[in-house]
Amino acid sequence: MKIVGTVGSSTYEAIKRDVIFGKLSPGTKLKLGHLKERYQASLSTLRETLSRLASEGFVAAEQQRGFFVTPVSKEDLIEIANLRVLLECHALELSISQGDADWEGNLVAAHHKLRRMEDKMISGDLSDKETWKRYDWEFHLALIQACNSQNLLSLHAVLFDKYLRYQMLVLTYRGKEAVDEHQQIFEAALERNKDIARAMLKKHIVKGLEHTLAVME
């Protein structure tokens, strides 16, 4: 039994994915007529979708001039990385203070899945970037899951996706370094060592930022 959502929700997912994973390049004009064919939805449904994406910041809307894929810039990337540090480190600290056994269990599971995937990537199999990034996402989410603030989690989700778009844009893999950072954050979190965990997470994000900035030349 397959549960299909509304046309609206699936076009939302599709366009968002295409923006994040670069199938729709930054700055591209999103003409409704074209999108209609590409995503098989009506103009109204598309406008609804694009409005949502615009208020999350993946799309830019100009009054009576239509929609565009939000442009990228170094400044924007830096802002997003800094906000991720601020929010994610804060959430991590809360999570470490408040997390229970369920939190630990999910974290262990998420780290395990990510680790397996990363081992595969390191040994040269770069075939499934999307799954890899999904596991990365799930690991970072598992870390802060116990922060006990829905508002914080949802702000973080959007930020993470924006950051992810930049990573997908440069398309290069940071390799063993990032794997080690994940490992260190993971261990510090399980040991409930807030300061180390926080410092490692910050380092992880900042290193990722520098790497991406460097590739953007």
Partner DNA sequence: CGCAAGATTTTTTTCGAAATATATGACATT
Partner DNA sequence: AATGTCATATATTTCGAAAAAAATCTTGCG
Q: Counting contacts by CB under 8 A, is residue 57 touching its own copies?
A: yes
Q: How far is the CB of 161 from its own copies (least distance, A)?
A: 13
CB crowding 34-72: b at 16 or more within 10 Å, else e: ebeebbebeeebbbbbbebbbeeebbbbeeeeebbbbeb
Q: Are 46 and 11 in contact (CB under 8 A)?
A: yes
97 binds its own copies (CB under 8 A): no
The residue (of 40 and 55) whose beta carbon lies closer to its own copies is 55
Distance linking the first and last C-alpha atoms of the chain: 49
Cβ burial, residue 195 (10 Å; 0-12/13-18/19+): exposed
142 binds DNA (CB under 7 A): no
User: Is position 20 an interface residue for its own copies (rule: CB under 8 A)?
Assistant: no
Q: Which residue has the tokens 């802060």?
A: 144
Question: Nearer to its own copies by C-beta: 52 or 115?
Answer: 52
Widest distance between CA atoms in the chain: 54
Please, which of residues 102-141 interact with DNA by CB under 7 A? none
Residue count, binding to DNA (CB under 7 A): 22
Instruction: Name the binder of 79 from DNA, its own copies, none, CB < 5-8 A by kind.
Output: its own copies
56 is a site residue for its own copies (CB under 8 A): yes
131 binds its own copies (CB under 8 A): no
Q: Provide the β-strand partners of residue 66.
A: 62
| CA-based nearest residue to 200, from 213, 191, 13, 151 | 191
82 near DNA (CB under 7 A): no
40 binds its own copies per the rule CB under 8 A: no
**Closer residue to its own copies in complex, CB, 131/154:** 154
For its own copies, give the closer residue by CB, 85 or 143: 85
Phi, psi of 216 (to 5 degrees): -70, 0
Residue range at the interface with its own copies (CB under 8 A); choices 14-22, 55-63, 185-193, 206-214: 55-63
Angle between helices 129-144 and 176-190 (to 10 degrees): 20
Q: Which residues bind DNA (CB under 7 A)?
A: 6-9, 29-33, 40-45, 47, 61, 63-67
